[in-house]
């Protein structure tokens, strides 16, 4: 069936490449042979001194090698076999609503990735391609009973087509599963998980948060959760805040959401206004498609806004989540907390940590981990899975390139 067609097309493409390389090689000999043949002595007789024969053979070989490499590179670029399916919002939404998902599932609605579905269509893997590498985002979404099967099917297809697989931001509880498929792991960082029912601003430890909450209430700040569809007027206000917050920086993607109207219309948005009604900050909800679990993606505010606005928005959000019956909130990842810093760390981990830190793929604000600690979260590790004998720094570099890819070039065929 389709597998046979894929294999046939790959075989045909390889045959074309080999045939073309052969023609180039013959053409090189003919070209240089003619050039040397027209060289002669002063009386017009054709001669072939030994050094010219050597130069002819060497030049023809170099000519052929360079052109073969160039054209094989071009064929690889334009004839790479396509893996998976394009983004289909209805299909993705059906799986997530009926079968559930994880903290990263909602990023499927960005539309910047491709999808591999299980045979039953009850689970899927989201991924992007960069060169000969396939970068999977997170664990599979959908029916948990199918996760092992869909990973096995996906990896078979990836390797049949000659790609190198990596899996970005897997959860610790699934490491044994990927280990069985031959992966090593690099710790990217830890996500802060807050227990909503026990959260409070009372008590000595939370005095700072309590004073922020009281100040914002005293100054008449309001927090509201708006359900989609989002009105054009509000979208314009959100865009203004987002542009101010970005300050000319380019948007990120892949594992981070960006300001994209269809994406914003997929979930509620928490907005904070001053007493006069001016929008000063917002946070987009990120459903985890698990009962009682919530996260956020974009959190943006005016740079000239009041001090403590982030904390004020989190406090109001936690109060909203408690009222709505949520029990768990994911504050997101603090990257590279104590990763690759130990003297006993493998050299690859130390290099990867440097690459990850210096590229600064995330929007940074200082003390990210320290900032989140005040909410007394539980920390859960997130890992990059990479093939044994593959380069860890290269896998990290490919992931950061995907995250920083220009948004006008993200959609795959």
Give the integer Cα–Cα distance in Å for 174 and 358: 28
Q: What is the pLDDT of residues 227-259, one digit of tens each?
A: 999 999 999 999 999 999 999 888 888 888 899
**Tell me, what's the pLDDT at 363?**
40
Whether the Cβ atoms of residue 184 and residue 155 lie closer than 8 Å to each other: no
Tell me which residue of 331, 269, 258, 259 sits closest to 294, measured CA to CA.
331
- With a CB cutoff of 8 Å and minimum separation 6, the contacts of 100 are 141, 142, 143, 144, 289, 290
**Tell me, what's the pLDDT at 250?**
84
Buried-exposed string 211-226: b where 16+ CB fall within 10 A, e elsewhere: ebbeebeeeebebeee
**Tell me, what's the pLDDT at 83?**
87
Q: What is the pLDDT of residues 9-61, one digit of tens each?
A: 444 455 565 666 666 666 666 665 555 555 554 455 555 555 666 666 667 67
| Joined tokens for residue 391 | 């380069």
Give the integer Cα–Cα distance in Å for 255 and 104: 7
Domains in the chain: ranges and CATH: 2-78 (no CATH), 89-190+335-370+378-409 (3.40.630.30), 194-333 (3.40.630.30)
Instruction: Please report where in the chains the tokens 């045909």 appear, as a residue.
Output: 12
Whether the Cβ atoms of residue 392 and residue 186 lie closer than 8 Å to each other: yes
Whether the Cβ atoms of residue 276 and residue 237 lie closer than 8 Å to each other: no
Q: What is the pLDDT of residues 257-296, one digit of tens each?
A: 899 999 999 999 999 999 999 999 999 999 999 999 999 9
**Tell me, what's the pLDDT at 95?**
97
**Tell me, what's the pLDDT at 38?**
55
Q: What is the dihedral of CA 52, 55, 60, 61, to 10 degrees?
A: 140
Give the integer Cα–Cα distance in Å for 371 and 81: 45
Whether the Cβ atoms of residue 288 and residue 295 lie closer than 8 Å to each other: yes
Q: What is the DSSP string of 185-235?
A: EEEEEEEEEEESTT--S-SGGGHHHHHHHHHHHHTT-EEEEEPSSPPHHHH
Give the integer Cα–Cα distance in Å for 86 and 38: 57
Whether the Cβ atoms of residue 124 and residue 156 lie closer than 8 Å to each other: no
Give the integer Cα–Cα distance in Å for 139 and 121: 16
Helix (H, G, I), strand (E, B) or coil at 80: coil
Give the integer Cα–Cα distance in Å for 184 and 163: 17
| Joined tokens for residue 277 | 């009604």
- Residue ranges for the chain with pLDDT beneath 50: 1-12, 41-42, 77-78, 337-340, 344, 359-366, 408-413
Q: What is the DSSP string of 271-324?
A: EEE-TT--EEEEEEEEE-SSTTEEEEEEEEE-TTS-TTHHHHHHHHHHHHHHHT
Q: Count CB neighbours of 302 within 10 A.
A: 16
Burial of 343 (0-12, 13-18, 19+ CB in 10 A): exposed
Instruction: Please report where in the chains the tokens 């092992």 appear, as a residue.
Output: 148
**Tell me, what's the pLDDT at 409?**
41
DSSP 8-state assignment for residue 269: E
pTM of the model: 0.75
Give the integer Cα–Cα distance in Å for 101 and 267: 15
CA angle 204, 209, 210 (to 5 degrees): 70
Could you tell me the CA-to-CA distances from 281 to 222, 230, 308, 347, 374 in Å, in that order? 11, 16, 11, 42, 21
């Amino acid at each position: 069936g389709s597998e046979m067609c894929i294999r046939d097309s790959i075989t045909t493409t390889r045959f074309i490449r080999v045939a073309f390389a052969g023609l180039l090689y013959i053409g090189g000999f003919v070209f240089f042979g003619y050039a040397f043949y027209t060289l002669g002595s002063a009386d017009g007789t054709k001669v072939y001194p030994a050094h010219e024969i050597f130069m002819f053979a060497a030049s023809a070989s170099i000519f052929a090698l360079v052109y073969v490499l160039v054209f094989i590179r071009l064929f690889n670029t334009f004839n790479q076999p396509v893996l998976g399916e394009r983004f289909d919002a209805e299909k993705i939404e059906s799986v997530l609503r009926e079968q559930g998902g994880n903290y990263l599932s909602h990023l499927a609605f960005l539309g910047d990735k491709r999808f591999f579905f299980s045979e039953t269509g009850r689970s899927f893997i989201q991924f992007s391609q960069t060169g000969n590498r396939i970068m999977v985002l997170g664990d599979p979404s959908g029916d948990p009973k199918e996760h092992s099967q869909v990973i096995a099917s996906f990896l078979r297809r990836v390797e049949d087509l000659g790609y190198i697989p990596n899996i970005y931001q897997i959860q610790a509880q699934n490491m044994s599963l990927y280990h069985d498929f031959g992966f090593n792991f690099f710790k990217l960082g830890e996500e802060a998980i807050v227990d909503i029912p026990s959260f409070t601003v009372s008590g000595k430890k939370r005095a700072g948060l309590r004073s922020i909450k009281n100040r914002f209430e005293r100054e008449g700040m309001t927090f509201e959760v708006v359900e989609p569809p989002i009105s054009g007027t509000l979208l314009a206000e959100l865009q203004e805040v987002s542009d101010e917050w970005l300050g000319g920086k380019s948007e990120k993607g892949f594992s981070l959401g960006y300001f994209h109207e269809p994406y914003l219309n997929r979930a509620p948005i928490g907005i904070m206004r001053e007493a006069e009604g001016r929008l000063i900050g917002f946070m987009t909800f990120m459903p985890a498609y698990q009962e009682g679990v919530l996260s956020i993606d974009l959190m943006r505010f005016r740079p000239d806004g009041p001090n403590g606005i982030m904390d004020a928005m989190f406090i109001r959000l936690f109060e909203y989540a408690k009222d709505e019956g949520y029990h768990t909130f994911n504050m997101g990842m603090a990257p590279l907390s104590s990763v690759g810093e130990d003297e006993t760390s493998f050299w690859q981990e130390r290099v990867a940590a440097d690459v990850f830190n210096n590229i600064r793929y995330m929007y940074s604000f200082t003390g990210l981990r320290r900032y989140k600690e005040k909410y007394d979260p539980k920390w859960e590790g997130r890992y990059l899975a990479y093939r044994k004998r593959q380069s860890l720094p290269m896998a990290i570099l490919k992931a950061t390139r995907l995250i920083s890819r220009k948004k006008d070039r993200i959609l795959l065929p």
